[in-house]
Structure 1
């Protein structure tokens, strides 16, 4: 059973790999395959029935005319020229009599269906030895019949043995097939177009871009149902994001108000070691609250716009270089894509901050790789153990267990960066850097 299953699996995979990948191609195949099978069956019926019948009748007609001519020559041998002239005019047979000739003693070679049917007709009607030369049957066919003391040479025009209905049938069959194929292609293209529009809208929405506002459900009932379900889903998601953003804006205001009062009261107390320590704690609390709200807010209501990613990366690198960070930036030409600029800056900014915190040198690269855009952030720090790299993306997860903000932050930087990357339809991967530290690879679809 093992070899049989393996063979069946190979056949199944071969058939599957040969099938069209698109819905349009598969639908056309469903329409065309029965059409091809119908044409094959029709051709078989035609050649097995019609072609044999027509060819037999034509062959029998020629054999009957030859038998009639031989009978006339036997009854009135003196009127040979008149008989040949009448046959040439009325039966389109060019006949000559070769006196004293004898056919070679060999069987007629049957090389085609026409030869077989014509030989059968000659045996039934003429009943004399004969030779068939059908080497150029479409133009003419030569028959030699052995008489008593001569050989009757008959040149039969191809039109008397070859029917043009074969070509007419084939042309009609191919022509109707092409017309049906064209009609089916147009119909299926119109049916597939709404599905493609829906796929583009879903892809755009998945990359954080707003779908077409005038997106209209079209096509078959099932396609319209899917489009309506997508419209309802996208509207619910946008409404949820708006509600979350509005709620967090209110929370941000409520939390900042007491912090502002505390900072004002500390400023009024004067400059002392106690107030300085409290001021540092309040600043740290403010930063932590800001990070928490940023993570909870996500991308918020920012719209995607088409912009040059290289310029965004270079501008961000210049800001860090101006702050004294050793950063080497390289962007490969102009990279135009759809981005939420502020969210994307926050994503790369967090990665650079993480790299600069643990390494003395940071490398930033951006370029196109196949059908994606890659941004690489490398450092020469200690890196992250491979078994902890996925955990590093968890909210509030810190490699520094002391939770000291000066050494490890709040543990939300990588979480925010991955959230932003996924909002753009991309992903972030952590790898070992060729410089010895950590490499953060951001991949965005083009």
Structure 2
């Protein structure tokens, strides 16, 4: 059974809409199958047998009346009564003999009528339900000739069969249409909630979203709206706090820089200036990581132009940076934040490699940006750790994170904020490959 489960799941619908319809339609189909079986076994079979028995009984009655009369002239009243009461046309062919062949019955109607004729009519007979359209002809071999008994097929078939089938098919189609419309209306709020959550996760505010739909969907939507408001409020509070912290920390550093400018030069003064510059760099890294560029609004951005700006800035530092972009790409991004992530990755590659290659292309549902260098790379067992804040590889004061251990952390945080993914691997040149995957 455990082996059959994955096999069965491959044929089951994956969407909630498809599964809901399957839950509704499957019992309906089972009910229709059971109803059809009961109708066929009880009603259709029983009614067809009774109708066939009535026609066979009428014929047997007429045959017994005519069998003892050697001539047909005295039996005209019997023929007339059969036309009037049995809705049957009787013709007599004196001296004729039935051919020595038997027609194989086709279908339920002919099978039931043949069975009833065999039980009720004691003379040789032959059933023909095909030569005359919408009529059945039964020929009976009498002692002095052949009696033809012709009646309509309607007498052997109940119209309730068509009514039942039309009712089943019609009601099933109506119920299916109602189920499709109802389920679409129920699924639509869930899709809107998913779209709003995805948009918010990529940096958009999703301001037009409101709770609607079933009670459970409204609860989930209301929880999402409250969560969105709390996150926005926390980001706003954190940004305001960091602005104050930035101002408070920059003030003493500025005073120290002014005091050093008035001091005579020397090794001690140069060392202090270097320490102040490093402190400012660390402060910028800390603030950028904590701020997370959360207040910037997403907008359509020409990715090719953004990549050219980043690579041109890197070339000004004297590095050889090559850009390969297959086609113009436009994505909804927070431009300053994403540019910062690209800059961190490109500067990291330039710091450890002599040749850097940046490429961008669109794959199935994603845009892939690769940043390759020919440097020493990062051991596979360390690639997960370099994304941790303030982590630095041993043996390097300014490793893969821009001096304070935050470069890759900030880059990944920005990429994740756009709904993407940042992955480290091996470059074809032997160095490090940083791959950004962004949903289209």
TM-score of the superposition, structure 2-length normalised? Answer: 0.92
What is the aligned counterpart of 1:151 among 121, 142, 146?
A: 146
Q: 345-354 vs 392-401, which deviates more? A: 392-401
Deviation at 1:90, TM superposition (A): 5.3
Deviation at 1:135, TM superposition (A): 4.4
SS in 1 for 2:14: coil
Q: Do the aligned partners of 1:138 and 1:159 also contact (CA within 8 Å) in 2? A: no
Q: Do the aligned partners of 1:137 and 1:158 also contact (CA within 8 Å) in 2? A: no
Deviation at 1:376, TM superposition (A): 0.7
> Cα–Cα, structure 1 residues 404 and 188, in superposed 2: closer, same or farther, change >3 Å?
closer
The aligned residue for residue 415 of structure 2 is: 421
Q: Do the aligned partners of 2:299 and 2:334 also contact (CA within 8 Å) in 1? A: yes
The aligned residue for residue 243 of structure 1 is: 237
Q: In the alignment, does 2:187 pair up with 1:202?
A: no
> Cα–Cα, structure 1 residues 162 and 137, in superposed 2: closer, same or farther, change >3 Å?
farther
Q: Do the aligned partners of 1:328 and 1:362 also contact (CA within 8 Å) in 2? A: yes
Q: Do the aligned partners of 2:386 and 2:400 also contact (CA within 8 Å) in 1? A: no
Q: Do the aligned partners of 2:324 and 2:360 also contact (CA within 8 Å) in 1? A: yes
Q: Do the aligned partners of 1:368 and 1:374 also contact (CA within 8 Å) in 2? A: yes
What is the aligned counterpart of 1:54 among 47, 56, 68?
A: 47
The aligned residue for residue 97 of structure 1 is: 92
SS in 2 for 1:143: strand
Deviation at 1:334, TM superposition (A): 1.9
> Cα–Cα, structure 1 residues 323 and 138, in superposed 2: closer, same or farther, change >3 Å?
farther
Q: In the alignment, does 2:46 pair up with 1:77?
A: no
Unmatched segments (≥5 aa) in structure 1: 1-7
Q: 47-56 vs 341-350, which deviates more? A: 47-56
The aligned residue for residue 182 of structure 2 is: 187
Q: 238-247 vs 359-368, which deviates more? A: 238-247
CA separation in 2, counterparts of 1:439 and 1:21?
A: 35
CA separation in 2, counterparts of 1:135 and 1:354?
A: 90
Q: In the alignment, does 2:370 pair up with 1:379?
A: no
> Cα–Cα, structure 1 residues 39 and 408, in superposed 2: closer, same or farther, change >3 Å?
closer
The aligned residue for residue 4 of structure 1 is: none
What is the aligned counterpart of 2:221 among 201, 222, 227?
A: 227
> Cα–Cα, structure 1 residues 98 and 91, in superposed 2: closer, same or farther, change >3 Å?
same
Deviation at 1:80, TM superposition (A): 4.6
Q: In the alignment, does 2:167 pair up with 1:172?
A: yes
The aligned residue for residue 39 of structure 1 is: 32
Q: In the alignment, does 2:24 pair up with 1:25?
A: no
The aligned residue for residue 58 of structure 2 is: 65
Q: Aligned pair count?
A: 438
Deviation at 1:101, TM superposition (A): 3.8
Deviation at 1:189, TM superposition (A): 0.8
> Cα–Cα, structure 1 residues 423 and 408, in superposed 2: closer, same or farther, change >3 Å?
closer
SS in 1 for 2:368: strand
Q: 24-33 vs 76-85, which deviates more? A: 76-85
Unmatched segments (≥5 aa) in structure 2: none
TM-score of the superposition, structure 1-length normalised? Answer: 0.91
What is the aligned counterpart of 2:434 among 422, 426, 440?
A: 440
CA separation in 1, counterparts of 2:112 and 2:4?
A: 43
CA separation in 1, counterparts of 2:400 and 2:418?
A: 31
Q: Do the aligned partners of 1:141 and 1:156 also contact (CA within 8 Å) in 2? A: yes
Any idea what the Cα deviations from partners look like across 1:91-117, whole Å, max 9, x if unmatched?
443333233344467877555432343
CA separation in 2, counterparts of 1:138 and 1:196?
A: 58
Q: Do the aligned partners of 2:392 and 2:399 also contact (CA within 8 Å) in 1? A: no
SS in 2 for 1:442: strand
Q: Do the aligned partners of 1:310 and 1:332 also contact (CA within 8 Å) in 2? A: no
CA separation in 1, counterparts of 2:299 and 2:16?
A: 31
The aligned residue for residue 270 of structure 2 is: 276
1:320-399 alignment runs, 5 A limit: 320-399=314-393
CA separation in 1, counterparts of 2:58 and 2:308?
A: 97
Q: Do the aligned partners of 2:400 and 2:407 also contact (CA within 8 Å) in 1? A: no
Q: 119-128 vs 253-262, which deviates more? A: 119-128
Q: Do the aligned partners of 1:108 and 1:130 also contact (CA within 8 Å) in 2? A: no
CA separation in 2, counterparts of 1:188 and 1:407?
A: 50
Q: In the alignment, does 2:423 pair up with 1:410?
A: no
Q: 163-172 vs 130-139, which deviates more? A: 130-139
Deviation at 1:127, TM superposition (A): 3.2
CA separation in 1, counterparts of 2:412 and 2:48?
A: 78
Q: Do the aligned partners of 1:400 and 1:408 also contact (CA within 8 Å) in 2? A: no
> Cα–Cα, structure 1 residues 292 and 97, in superposed 2: closer, same or farther, change >3 Å?
same
Q: Do the aligned partners of 1:93 and 1:156 also contact (CA within 8 Å) in 2? A: yes
> Cα–Cα, structure 1 residues 142 and 86, in superposed 2: closer, same or farther, change >3 Å?
same
